Amino acid sequence: MRDFTDQMNNTIRLETSPSRIVSLVPSQTELLYALGLEDEVIGITKFCIHPNEWFVSKKRVGGTKNVDVDKVKALQPDLIIGNKEENDFENIVSLRKTAPIWMSDIFNLKDAYSMITSIGEITNKIDESLVLVGEIKEEFRKLKNSNVVQSLKGRSVQYFIWHNPNMAAGKSTFIDEILSECGLINLTREERYPEVKLTDSPDFIFLSSEPFPFREKHLGQFINAFPKSKVLLVNGEMFSWYGSRLKDAPSYFEALFKKLTS
């Protein structure tokens, strides 16, 4: 019997290492895969698209905001893993009657590292999780010291996550933390994800692939609104997924930033 405290300060008690896990968060589902929990994970959401072999083979239990509680219950999980921001509060309250729920609450890389190692401890994959965190830290260290990041340090950016209304990632978000790690200054100073007017003139405009799927057809409006800014489509998973994908994010950022300086 072991007790584990999650990132919302809730304590769960597990009698044994979990063998029937339902994951309600795409980035944490990918983490469970990276930790080698193929047999243990039995349920995921329809947005858990990575890895593809899990997306096509694992039972799906609805979306992150509208989890099908009955489908989760039918799977008889012994652990559910969720996230404060991504999952609906009422869904989580209902699911607490089904199985212990470990919740993450992530604002920065420190929180992400803690989540990774905590899930590693809960699932008896602590060694694997510590190795992964070490690899992620090393990749971000190399990114910070790279010539391309040094050349962009202090430049301004707005990161758009939604269109009509236009919403951007502001303070107290994981995206803001990542932009800062890349040496960029986020011009969206409001908290969380405010609606913003297209009036500022940052050095760069990033149009994210998620949650709104910005495409080539959207570039024109932003180029017209920000004639002095460089506008790029970016992979939202690299900026907002806080699991094992963080290991690949720095190399993506370096390649992206080379486009900004070309």
Per mean pLDDT, which range of 33-42, 76-85, 107-116, 140-149 is the poorest? 140-149
Q: What is the pLDDT of residue 199?
A: 74
- Asked whether 84 and 104 are in contact (CB, 8 A), the reply is yes
For residues 153-158, give the mean pLDDT.
93
User: CA 190, CA 131: separation in Å to the nearest integer?
Assistant: 36
Per-residue pLDDT tens over the stretch 119-140? 999 999 999 999 999 999 999 9
pLDDT of 208 strictly over 90: yes
Reported as type and span, the H/E element at residue 85 is none
Structural domains in the chain, CATH included, are 2-108 (3.40.50.1980), 147-261 (3.40.50.1980)
pLDDT of 142 strictly over 90: yes
Q: What is the pLDDT of residue 152?
A: 87
Per-residue pLDDT tens over the stretch 59-113? 999 999 999 999 999 999 999 999 999 999 999 999 999 999 999 999 999 999 9
- Residue 92 Ramachandran class (φ > 0 left, ψ -120 to 50 alpha, else beta): alpha
Q: How far is CA 7 from CA 3, 17, 118, 132, 166, in A?
A: 14, 19, 9, 19, 31
Per-residue pLDDT tens over the stretch 21-31? 999 999 999 99
Q: What is the pLDDT of residue 160?
A: 97
Q: What is the pLDDT of residue 260?
A: 81
User: Which SS3 state, helix, strand or coil, does residue 17 take?
Assistant: coil
Q: What is the pLDDT of residue 198?
A: 79
Angle at 12 between CA 109 and CA 5, to 5 degrees: 35
User: CA 72, CA 62: separation in Å to the nearest integer?
Assistant: 9
With cut-offs at 50, 70 and 90, classify the pLDDT of residue 157: very high
Q: What is the pLDDT of residue 102?
A: 98
**CA within 13 Å, CB half, 3:** 4
pLDDT of 182 strictly over 90: yes
Q: In angstroms, what is the C-alpha Rg of the chain?
A: 19
Q: What is the pLDDT of residue 96?
A: 95
Mean model confidence pLDDT for the chain: 95
- Helices vs strands, H then E, count in the chain: 11, 12
φ/ψ (deg, to 5) at 172: 60, 35
